[in-house]
Amino acid sequence: GAGVSQSPSNKVTEKGKDVELRCDPISGHTALYWYRQSLGQGLEFLIYFQGNSAPDKSGLPSDRFSAERTGGSVSTLTIQRTQQEDSAVYLCASRRRGDTAADTQYFGPGTRLTVL
Amino acid sequence: GQNIDQPTEMTATEGAIVQINCTYQTSGFNGLFWYQQHAGEAPTFLSYNVLDGLEEKGRFSSFLSRSKGYSYLLLKELQMKDSASYLCAVRALYSGAGSYQLTFGKGTKLSVIP
């Protein structure tokens, strides 16, 4: 597609359940980022994938969060044993090249996660 | 680490000019971005500054002073559709991962009134 897509757009789950969020980056973009945006807060960096390199997981808030990127394209963010504080909008962004400062990130529409 | 400050909210009148300020403290600075985010939508890229000075793009301009850790976004001839949040983001090289990462401010919610 022309832009970054994410699914589902909305997800409501019960506390303690696992959820999977999907991101399809722009074709040919080698860099992929996951962010979390809570109400009234800025975008919080979670994880970064660049080509075949080991991902930068420094932003993941706990070991309940994990992500993978298969075939250098689609990425899945998994949250295990969800907690109410995990409720937020999860945004994915992709970038054409990962190591050049001038390349900007293009964001998907986000997945709004609500944990009851 | 990074620290980015911008006003929480601003209100301006249609047709006017508004300046949204952003101050930052960071090491390894490698550029500053401004994004626009309408309610319920994804952020969209507005501007990028890596050198000191003013970058102009239509009704929007962005200024950077690296020595002062300061940037502003200037919006001219405001329109109702400019009501949105404006996010300041600083890019820095994270030596551990060898990659550039963006750190975002909390955003400035701009309301344009008739």
The alpha-carbon gap from A62 to the nearest alpha carbon of chain B, in Å, equals 19
Burial A53-84 (b: 16+ CB within 10 A, else e): eebbeebbeeeebebebeeebebebebeebee
Tell me the pLDDT band of A92, cut-offs 50, 70 and 90: very high
Residues contacting residue A23 through CB under 8 Å, at least 6 positions apart: A4, A5, A6, A32, A34, A74, A75, A76, A77, A92, A94, A108
What number is the average pLDDT over the span B51-77? Answer: 96
Tens digits of residue pLDDT in A54-71: 888 888 999 999 999 988
Q: Which among B31, B41, B42 is the nearest to A101, CB-wise? A: B31
- Residue from B111, B114, B107 nearest B36 by CA: B107
Mean pLDDT of chain B: 91
Over its C-alpha atoms, chain A yields an Rg (Å, rounded) of 13
Q: Which among A4, A42, A45 is the nearest to B101, CB-wise? A: A45
Tens digits of residue pLDDT in B6-19: 999 999 999 999 99
Token pair recorded at residue B56: 């102009």
Q: Which among B87, B94, B97 is the nearest to A43, CB-wise? A: B87
| Measured distance CA(A43)–CA(B102) in Å, rounded | 9
Testing the interface with B: which of A47, A106, A107, A111 to mutate, by most B Cβ within 10 A?
A107
